[in-house]
């Protein structure tokens, strides 16, 4: 069973990644913060007594459900606003996407020069932009597999789909990202 300190440490460690994942999905900083906060509260209230090793999968599933709930609420609000208001639903504003998680340990260890840093920043910017353009399921599979470092079975469980679907979504996402990087003269 997770102690209060272990739960706190887990949440502190998961906060940044969860925010970035929510930010990629909803593209609104305030909504992303709300989603992450709600997911953390749900985890604490309902699963705080679980062993620490289970918290990662539980939190990921709770976060994904919170993101889906956000879109459901947004759809319902939009429908009602359209029916009862001459103004219609508010348009989504494009928000800056959060920084794509790179391998921080190797980046810190190598201490790249200014040229290398500029190249990495450019590559990350392109990947961030293209991630936001991917279909939602491809983006979700890509982020869970390569950002959250989940295996295919865990990702399938979180996404509530087959392992084959996860592989297909990841393959299509990586192909799309690689194609864009090659088109811009960068090596994927």
Structural domains in the chain plus CATH codes: 4-84 (1.10.1740), 112-183 (1.10.10.10)
SS3 96: coil
User: 80-119: per-residue pLDDT in tens?
Assistant: 445 444 333 334 333 333 333 333 333 333 445 677 777 7
CA 169 – CA 75 distance, rounded (Å): 25
**Which is more confidently placed, 98 or 4?**
4
CA 162 – CA 153 distance, rounded (Å): 8
The arithmetic mean of pLDDT across residues 177-182, rounded, is: 86
Please say whether the beta carbons of 47 and 55 come within 8 A: yes
User: 58-83: per-residue pLDDT in tens?
Assistant: 999 999 999 988 888 887 666 544 54
> Quick one: which of 34, 31, 61 has its CA closest to 47?
61
SS3 177: helix
Residue 17 has pLDDT above 70, yes or no: yes
User: 143-177: per-residue pLDDT in tens?
Assistant: 888 877 788 999 999 999 999 999 999 999 988 88
Average the pLDDT over each of 1-15, 115-129, 144-158 and give the range with the smallest value. 115-129
- Report the pLDDT value the prediction gives residue 87, as an integer from 0 to 100: 36
């Amino acid at each position: 069973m997770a102690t209060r300190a272990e739960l706190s440490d887990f949440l502190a460690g998961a906060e940044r990644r969860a925010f970035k994942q929510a930010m990629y999905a909803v593209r609104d900083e305030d909504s992303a913060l709300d989603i992450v906060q709600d997911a953390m509260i749900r985890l604490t209230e309902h699963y705080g007594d679980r062993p620490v090793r289970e918290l990662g999968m539980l939190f990921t599933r709770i976060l994904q459900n919170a993101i889906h709930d956000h879109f459901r609420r947004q759809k319902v609000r939009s429908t009602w606003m359209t029916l009862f208001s001459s103004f219609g639903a508010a348009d989504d504003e494009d928000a800056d996407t959060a920084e794509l998680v790179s391998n921080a340990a190797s980046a810190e260890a190598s201490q790249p020069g200014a040229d290398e840093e500029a190249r990495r920043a450019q590559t990350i910017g392109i990947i961030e932009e293209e991630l936001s353009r991917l279909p939602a399921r491809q983006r979700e599979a890509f982020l869970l597999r390569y950002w959250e470092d989940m295996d295919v079975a865990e990702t399938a469980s979180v996404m509530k789909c087959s392992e084959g679907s996860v592989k297909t979504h990841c393959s299509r996402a990586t192909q799309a990202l690689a194609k864009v990087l090659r088109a811009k003269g960068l090596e994927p």
